[in-house]
Amino acid sequence: MAVLLFLAQTLRIAIPYLFAAAGGVVSERAGLIGLTLEGYMLGGAFAAALGSYYGHSAWFGVLAGVLGGALLAVVYGVSAIRFRADQVVVGIAINLLAIGVTRFFLRLAFGSSSNSPRVTGFGGEQSGNGFTALVANPMIWLGLIVIPLVAWMLYRTPFGLRVRAVGEHPAAATSVGVPVTRVRYTAVILSGVLAGLGGVYLVLDQHQFTDQMTAGRGFIALAATIFGRWDPSRVGVACLLFAAAETLQIQLQGAQLVPSQFVEMIPYLLTIIALAGVVGRAVPPAALGRAPE
Amino acid sequence: MMPHASTSAIRLTDIHKSFGAVLANRGASLEVARGEIHALVGENGAGKSTLMRVLSGMYAPDSGRMEVADAGGVLRDVTGWSTAAAIESGVGMVHQHFMLVPTLTVAENLMLGAELTSEGPLRVLDRARAAEQVEALSTRTGLRVNPARRVAELSVGEAQRVEILKALYRGARTLILDEPTAVLSPPEVDELWEVLRQMRSRGETIVLITHKLDEVMSISDTVTVMRHGRTISRLRTGETTPQQIAREMVGRDVQLASEMRRDAVLAEEAWVAAPASDAPAAAGSLGSTTFPLPALEIKGLVVASAGRSDAVRDVSFSISPGEILGIAGVEGNGQTELVEAIAGLRRVRSGSILLDHLDITGASVRARGDAGLSHIPEDRHSRGLVLDYSIADNLILGQQHHFARGGFVNTLDIDRIASNARRQIAAFDIRPPNATVPARSLSGGNQQKIVIAREMGRDFRVLLAAQPTRGVDVGAIEFIHGQLRAARASGKAILLVSADLSEVLALSDRIAVMYGGRFVVVLPRAGAGEEVLGPYMTGAEHAA
């Protein structure tokens, strides 16, 4: 039973990582740094709260969350592609923007500076840690197939081939008539949608939006993207690994074997180790972070 | 008026194209007949590549008219079309810097932008059909390559084959090749010529951008010469001479490398007869090219690379004062790593480097410079210059400590920097002769002269000259070759690395061929020719 509980909790924690990291893979493979995942998640989460609250349905939440993530991705895309702004600088700005905007509208819509009222989620009013609640939640199922979907898109479809080309060698893609700008916009908006779904999951799972509720999950997803070397299946494994480490920390909380802060460092430590080349060479897409000519 | 079939495949009339203040094309024209190999020649910066990028749809012209024959042979106005439209109409370009995505496979690169998909609602990539088509095209054209391999794993020659295949795969009837031989070994060049001749015999049209006149003479039917963005002349290859083409390219008489080779022999004979006064007296018999005590000695040098195997594997050689050792070889065989290791830019795994018997293996770059080592790096933009610095500042890079006043707060001696710049600009004919303009605003040839002036316009013993004339015009090549010869005559030891075999042959006293990180053979110049060196360059032959 303990093992099952461990797995169930790992899964719950992993789902938002899987969504956001899938977005990270799509964005970075197209050459746009995924620093904005955190902002997309937060934007998606808040929009989901709005949609679910006013639409009285979790599905409205999903729809609104997708739009929220996409909206921030458009802002990022226009700055980085159309205006060729530095992606790191814009990325940080988008994340700060997401915090500010959600906080502002939280006060405006719900008259609170900390959290939204209770919103409709999936799986009825009773949500527990058990499997029954998990199975009833379509977001879980979607989260489980999002990585295989992205892998299929990337390696089996013409669009995926173009995304990979555009992130590696945009000039070569241009020379054969691939509309590089359009491919990049599509990829960055798709990444906003995917990461936004990560935020949606958080809100529907907790039945409310709380200020800055993503709490760095977008950055952990970015770490998973890099640790997984931009390959969807490896990135999926990285998400599960990071989620398992977090679960372990929660379950050991009573025991106080190691301070929880050390466990929280694990994803970042692993990422640094991965980037240092300890577990094979991590070669990012060659045109990552650079505006095409 | 009825449109009628033309004998021309391409007609470009009075094309103008500028990039900011730079006028790349100002009245360029080109007419190419169907089924011919047409050479487009000119110095670097003459506007050849720009004109061809306009033709292939990468740039839109500012003004002018572009006409390309359709499948029925009728010229259609295509002014300012897109790359997709150019490909659609059968105009394909093979770029100098390959337009291939290294992480994708050969088949994926070929179908990128024209993807084959399966039937049905889910349009999935059809890899099997793509591989089949690539195989079929390979067989038909004789351009053999494995469609499943990743481009990153291919040799340069193979990558070029993929580039040509890519254009043909999209149905190109007109193929534009931008300096295709720059990266090939002599046998690979022959193979390329064979492919192009076959294409011509099938009625396909080829435009070949080059600045190598021997290529023009051996392969083309017609030549168009460009200079300063304009079209100067259009000649039948059979009715012209390399000298005439060179004159048209530069606008005055020039000495060609092939002639230089002959003259160099004469010059050396003269030097042997009357050795320069500052040449070392300890020399042995100069006539039999046994040189005096080495100025640079390399023993068992091993340099690691980013990849799995070492970039330089157990290389030993020495260069005497007054000698040029040339290294020939296809790029990527360890030449870059060898030069950078000697220059102190790359860590040496084992072996030693001696400059005038002083061990400099672990010395800093500055210490090497002060010991008398000069280095003309192969890439002037990444290593040779700070493009946004002025000419004057670039002329003291690496020697700034010799231009300081010293004292508690060390400041640069502006007056000495300015006078140094004046002197060097005059001595090396750097244009414009204004020390305060940024290096970025200069032409490639003049940028290179800044590097040459800095490295050769000071007291030095040994010079590492890596690709000293890459991307510079014929006039500057002439000047730089003259500087290298003068340095040899005054007793300097020079290590010359060049991808241009004719340059190595024109300047070197001894020639080493580097392949797979080793010196496969070292020959006196008399025993070296393209035919002799070619097989060593491809690794087909090894010295006993």
pLDDT digits (tens, 9 = 90+) for A185-219: 999 999 999 999 999 999 999 999 999 999 999 99
Site from A168, A176, A180, A283 to mutate, B interface, most B CB atoms within 10 angstroms? A176
Nearest CA in chain A to B306: A281
* DSSP class per residue in A17-58: HHHHHHHHHHHHHTT--GGGHHHHHHHHHHHHHHHHHHHSSH
Nearest CA in chain A to B127: A156
Considering only CB atoms, which chain B residues are within 8 Å of A171? 99
3-state secondary structure of B435: coil
- What pLDDT is attached to residue A209? 96
Nearest CA distance, A172 vs chain B (angstrom): 4
Q: Tell me which H or E stretch contains A156.
A: helix A138-156
- What pLDDT is attached to residue B123? 83
* DSSP class per residue in B83-134: HHHHHHTTEEEE-SS----TTSBHHHHHHTTS--B-SSSS--B-HHHHHHHH
- What pLDDT is attached to residue A277? 64
- Kindly report the pTM of this predicted structure: 0.75
pLDDT digits (tens, 9 = 90+) for B465-489: 999 998 787 788 889 999 999 999 9
CB contact under 8 A, A168 and B104: yes
C-alpha separations of B336 from B179, B188, B194, B329 in Å: 21, 21, 31, 11
List the one residue out of B391, B380, B335, B345 whose CA is nearest residue B470. Answer: B380
Nearest CA distance, B375 vs chain A (angstrom): 30
Q: Does A207 touch chain B (CB under 8 A)?
A: no
> Of the segments A148-162, B151-165, B178-192, which one has the largest average pLDDT value?
A148-162
Q: Tell whether the model's pLDDT for residue A258 goes beyond 60.
A: yes
Nearest CA in chain A to B83: A177
Q: Does B112 touch chain A (CB under 8 A)?
A: yes
Nearest CA distance, B101 vs chain A (angstrom): 6
pLDDT digits (tens, 9 = 90+) for B422-470: 999 999 989 888 999 999 888 888 899 999 999 999 999 999 999 999 8
Confidence of residue B282 (pLDDT cuts 50, 70, 90): very low
φ and ψ at A35, to 5 degrees?
Answer: -65, -20
Q: What residues are paired with B514 via a beta bridge?
A: B519
Rounded Cα distance, B106 and B113, in Å: 14
3-state secondary structure of B469: coil
Q: Does B129 touch chain A (CB under 8 A)?
A: no
Nearest CA in chain B to A293: B58
Q: Confirm if B101 and B32 have CB atoms less than 8 A apart.
A: no
User: Which of A:124-163 have CB within 8 Å of B?
Assistant: 156-158, 160-162
ipTM of the shown complex: 0.87
Confidence of residue A180 (pLDDT cuts 50, 70, 90): very high
3-state secondary structure of B284: coil
Question: What does the block give as tokens for A41?
Answer: 């998640």
User: Which of A:72-91 have CB within 8 Å of B?
Assistant: none
Contacts of B118 (CB under 8 A, 6+ apart): B124, B125, B126
Of A156, A162, A169, the CB nearest to B124: A156
Rounded Cα distance, B63 and B79, in Å: 9
Mean pLDDT of B77-94: 89
- What pLDDT is attached to residue B475? 80
Nearest CA in chain A to B99: A172
pLDDT digits (tens, 9 = 90+) for A8-26: 889 999 999 999 999 999 9
Of A157, A165, A177, the CB nearest to B101: A165
Considering only CB atoms, which chain A residues are within 8 Å of B124? 156-157
Q: Tell whether the model's pLDDT for residue B2 goes beyond 60.
A: no
pLDDT digits (tens, 9 = 90+) for B147-175: 999 998 887 778 888 999 998 898 889 99
Of A168, A176, A285, the CB nearest to B113: A176
Q: Tell whether the model's pLDDT for residue A276 goes beyond 90.
A: no
Q: Does A29 touch chain B (CB under 8 A)?
A: no
Q: Tell me which H or E stretch contains B301.
A: strand B296-303
C-alpha separations of A172 from B83, B108, B149, B151, B184 in Å: 11, 12, 18, 13, 21
CB contact under 8 A, B100 and A173: no
Considering only CB atoms, which chain B residues are within 8 Å of A285? 103
Higher pLDDT, B539 or A48: A48
CB contact under 8 A, B112 and A171: no
Q: Which position has the token pair 């004919």?
A: B429
Rounded Cα distance, B407 and B322, in Å: 39
Q: Confirm if B174 and B207 have CB atoms less than 8 A apart.
A: yes
Confidence of residue A109 (pLDDT cuts 50, 70, 90): very high
Q: Which region among B40-44, B179-183, B342-346 has the lowest average model confidence (pLDDT)?
A: B179-183
- What pLDDT is attached to residue A194? 98
CB contact under 8 A, A164 and B104: yes
Confidence of residue B286 (pLDDT cuts 50, 70, 90): very low
Q: Does B125 touch chain A (CB under 8 A)?
A: yes
Q: Tell whether the model's pLDDT for residue B516 goes beyond 90.
A: no
Mean pLDDT of B130-145: 87
Higher pLDDT, B330 or B225: B225
- What pLDDT is attached to residue B72? 85
Q: Tell whether the model's pLDDT for residue B284 goes beyond 60.
A: no
Q: Tell whether the model's pLDDT for residue B264 goes beyond 70.
A: no
Considering only CB atoms, which chain A residues are within 8 Å of B117? 158
CB contact under 8 A, A169 and B102: yes
Q: Confirm if B284 and B294 have CB atoms less than 8 A apart.
A: no
Of B101, B102, B113, the CB nearest to A177: B113
pLDDT digits (tens, 9 = 90+) for B387-411: 999 999 999 998 998 998 887 888 8
